[in-house]
Amino acid sequence: MPTEAHSEPRGDRPWAVRAAGWFDGRDGRPGPVLVVIDGGRITAVDTTGAPPATDLPVRDLGDVTVLPGLVDAHVHLAFDPAEPPERLATVPEPVLLDRMAAHAQAHLAAGVTTVRDLGDRDFLALRLREQLRASGAPAPEILASGPPLTRAGGHCWFLGGEADDQAALRRAVADHARRGVDVIKIMATGGAITPGFRTHESQYQRTELTEVVEAAAAEGLGVTAHAHGGPGITDALAAGVAGLEHVSFFTADGIDVDWATVDAIAAAGVHVGATEAALPEGDIRNPAVFAKLEQRSINFVRMHAAGVRLVCCSDAGVVPRKPHGVLAHGMVRLGRYGLANPDALAAATSVAAEACGIADRKGRLAPGYDADLLIIDGDPLTDLTALHQVRAVYRAGQQAYAKPSPRA
């Protein structure tokens, strides 16, 4: 059982957690670690095993592993996976905000301390962020894009981000920036949940995508592009986006990866959002769909080997297989297809933080970083399924979730 050493930690003075194993966002191993926290930030990480100062309150967590809180770089807090997505157009705002708050808590309980919402309605993720900050209630940090830019009737049109020409796109970027978004999201291709444009079909020309990137840069913002089809991927890359979501290389009837484009993605340092997190594949009844998704997973591991900055994320909320708080399943899946365990862990910690532009304070166990901690039973360096065994979650140094004690 974990024990309290010295004295109970208090929020107005430095204190520490001690664990039997660690992963710091880049590296890790079994062995003692002491993480010192002050004012919601990490001030020291000691892996020498030396005893702490006698006046330092220490919370000894026992035989567990401590990691940085996970970063899910692609979620949709407004989406309910049990409902058709287009219903979002008519859900009353108070109902939607309550739903989004509950979904944020589901992420937190799964060890996700930062989420990047890449598609909401009416900029409600920004409103939710302010409400949660004002309440002081434990919650993940929320980054948000607002409604994604899309064609009239295009992918996720019901979120309100329709813009068809260059002038409309520039106006949309300016409006998003004025409202305080963290990134611009654009639907370079169609998507599976919306009729109109199929996944392999481009929604915008390269010149239009370039217009968006330039307009966003003028506002101090980066752009990430939803891109399933090869031409849309290539055009978004050429336009200068900072991130690419999905990168499926879907065709009308399968997958055809352009490995020269993959090499160009790697050379440009563009982050690829591998939306691999989902419940196990047993509920995919269509063999062709199963094979397609299996091949995409294999391709992601090959992309990583080619030097691509691979981010493990979830796209949570869009379909029943992707409930909120499912991110750990993505790391397990990537590991099953050959990604080394430390790389799978980094893909949802340090590398995900890079993709979100917060690598200076998230995704690492290191001095100066936010004290967002995930405590799990087991060792994920040898068994990624240990990520499902969440013991506790700390957000900015405050315990935000603890595994319920079994009933006597």
Report the pLDDT value the prediction gives residue 286, as an integer from 0 to 100.
83
Per-residue pLDDT, averaged over 242-261, amounts to 97
Distance of CA 126 to the CA centre of its chain: 16
Kindly state the helix (H) or strand (E) to which residue 117 belongs, with its residue range. strand 112-117
Per-residue pLDDT, averaged over 386-407, amounts to 92
CA dist 203 and 188 (Å) reads 5
User: What radius of gyration, in Å, describes the C-alpha atoms of the chain?
Assistant: 21
The two three-digit tokens of residue 357, written as one number: 């532009």
In this predicted structure, the answer to whether residue 238 has a pLDDT above a threshold of 90 is yes
Asked if 233 contacts 244 with a C-beta cutoff of 8 angstroms, the reply is yes
Within 10 Å of residue 344's Cβ, how many Cβ atoms? 28
pLDDT tens, 136-160? 989 999 999 999 999 999 999 999 9
In CATH, which superfamily holds the domain spanning 70-356?
A: Metal-dependent hydrolases (3.20.20.140)
3-state secondary structure of 184: strand
In this predicted structure, the answer to whether residue 216 has a pLDDT above a threshold of 50 is yes
Report the pLDDT value the prediction gives residue 285, as an integer from 0 to 100.
76
pLDDT tens, 168-213? 999 999 999 999 999 999 999 999 999 889 999 999 999 999 999 9
Report the pLDDT value the prediction gives residue 408, as an integer from 0 to 100.
41
Instruction: Answer whether 0.85 is exceeded by the pTM.
Output: yes
Give the 3-state secondary structure of 191-242.
CCCCCCCCCCCECCCHHHHHHHHHHHHHCCCCEEEEEEEHHHHHHHHHHCCC
Report the pLDDT value the prediction gives residue 282, as an integer from 0 to 100.
57
The percent of residues above 70 in pLDDT, for the chain, comes to: 96
pLDDT tens, 313-366? 999 999 999 999 999 999 999 999 999 999 999 999 999 999 999 999 999 999
Burial class (CB in 10 A: 0-12, 13-18, 19+), 178: exposed
- Assess whether the region 15-68+364-402 and the region 70-356 belong to the same CATH fold: no
Q: How confident is the model at residue 407 (pLDDT cuts 50, 70, 90)?
A: low
Per-residue pLDDT, averaged over 264-270, amounts to 98
Report the pLDDT value the prediction gives residue 284, as an integer from 0 to 100.
77
Report the pLDDT value the prediction gives residue 287, as an integer from 0 to 100.
86
Q: Which CATH number is 15-68+364-402's, of 2.60.120.10, 3.40.250.10, 2.30.40.10, 3.40.190.10?
A: 2.30.40.10
pLDDT tens, 16-67? 999 999 999 999 988 899 999 999 999 999 999 999 998 999 999 999 999 9
User: β-strand 15-23 against 41-46: which pairing, if any?
Assistant: unpaired
pLDDT tens, 69-121? 999 999 999 999 999 988 999 999 999 999 999 999 999 999 999 999 999 99
DSSP for 287-330, please give it.
Answer: HHHHHHHHHHHHHHHHHHHTT-EEEE---BTSSTT--TT-HHHH
pLDDT tens, 274-294? 999 999 865 677 888 889 999
Domain borders along the chain are 15-68+364-402, 70-356
Q: In sequence order, what are the residues at sequence separation of 6 or more whose Cβ sits closer than 8 angstroms to the Cβ of residue 341?
A: 335, 380, 381, 382, 384
Report the pLDDT value the prediction gives residue 3, as an integer from 0 to 100.
39
